[in-house]
Amino acid sequence: MFKYIESLRVKTGEKVNLSKWDTDYDHKMLSKEEGGEVLQEGVKRLSQMQDMLYAHNQYSMLIIFQAMDAAGKDSAIKHIMSGLNPQGVKVTSFKTPSTTELDHGYLWRHYLEIPARGEISIFNRSHYENVLVTRVHPEYILGENNPGVNSVKDIDDAFWNRRYKQINSFEKTLNENGTIVLKFFLHVSKDEQKKRFLERIDDPEKNWKFSAADLKERSCWDDYMNAYEEMLGKCSQDNAPWFVIPADDKWFARLSIAAIIYKQFQKLNFSYPVLDAKSRKELAQAKVQLLAEKPGKAAKSKKKK
C-alpha cells in the first residue's frame, strides 16, 4: 500500500496531465471489505499518532483538501478523522471571502486558521481557491482591489506566477516552523460527478447538497482541469507535497489519504516525551504519597458491602 501511495505524489516541478492520472481504483490491491478493515485499523493508528503529536508539542499538521464538487471531501474528513480527539483538531471550510477578508491580502484569513503546536488543522478548500476558482473566473480578482489590477486584462501569466511563488513561500515558512503540510486533490471523473449530482437530486435527504451553481461550474470542467494541472505542477514542493487521489471509489480515496497521513507521522519519528531525572523523582514521590493515602468513606462503605 505504501509503495502505491508514493506514486500518487506530484513530484516537484512535474508537468501534470490529469488525463493520465487515475480517477478509479483498479481493485487489484484490496476489495472494498478488506479496505474497510484496513481503514479502521489506520484510524486507530492515527489516533495514537495524534496523541504523541500533542504530547510532543513541537510539530503541528495542516491537511488541505481540494477537489471538484461531489468528489467526497466532506465524507473523507468525516471518516478519516473520526478516531481523532476533537480537542486537537480544527476543520475550516473556506467559502466566498467576506468584505473584511477582501480588505486584507488573500492569505490573511488562512494564517488565522493554521494549527498551534501539537494540533491538526484541516482546510476544506483553502488558499488554493485563489489560483483555481479565480483562474477560471478572473473577474473575482477585481474584488480584492489589488494595486495595478484595474481590469481582467491586468491579470496575466506573471500575476499567476507571483501567486504560485507566494503560496510556496507561505507553506515553506509554515514547514520551517514545525507545521507538516499535506495536500490532497481528490481526482473524480466527470462521469462520476454526474452520477453523484443525480443522486443528490433524486434523494430528498441530499437535495440540500445540490445547487444550480454546481451545474454552472461543471460547464467549466476543462478550464478547471487546466487550472489544477498548472497549480499542481507549480505548487507541489518537497516540504508541502500534493497527492492526486483517485476519488471515484470513496472508500479507496479515504484509505489512501489515511495511509499517506500515517506515513508522514512515521517520518517524524517522535515518541512520548522522556522526563528528566527531577521530574521522574517527583513522579516517584507522588506515587508514594498516593499509595499512603487512607481509603475515603465511599471506599470503606463499598468494602463493607
pLDDT per residue, tens digit, the chain (305 aa), is 667 888 899 999 999 999 999 999 766 566 677 677 777 777 888 888 889 899 889 999 999 999 999 999 999 998 888 878 888 899 999 999 999 999 999 999 999 999 999 999 999 999 999 999 999 999 999 999 999 999 999 999 999 999 999 999 999 999 999 999 999 999 999 999 999 999 999 999 999 989 888 999 999 999 999 999 999 999 999 999 999 999 999 989 998 999 899 888 888 877 777 888 998 899 999 999 999 998 876 555 555 55
Distance CA 54, CA 271 (A): 10
Cell numbers standing for residue 253: 480515496
Distance CA 173, CA 130 (A): 19
In contact, 45 and 219? CB cutoff 8 Å: no
In contact, 66 and 128? CB cutoff 8 Å: yes
- Choose among 187, 195, 234: nearest CA to 66: 187
Crossing angle between the packed helical segments 157-176 and 221-235, to the nearest 10 degrees: 50
Structural element, H or E, at residue 215: helix 212-218
Q: Which residues contact 95 (CB under 8 A, 6 or more apart)?
A: 125
Going through the chain in order, the beta strands assigned E by DSSP cover 60-67, 89-93, 120-124, 179-187, 242-246
169-228 per-position pLDDT tens digit: 999 999 999 999 999 999 999 999 999 999 999 999 999 989 888 999 999 999 999 999
Please tell me the pTM assigned to this model.
Answer: 0.89
In degrees, to the nearest 5, what angle opens at C-alpha 85 toward C-alphas 80 and 87? 125
In degrees, to the nearest 5, what angle opens at C-alpha 2 toward C-alphas 7 and 4? 35
DSSP secondary-structure letter at 271? -
DSSP secondary-structure letter at 24? S
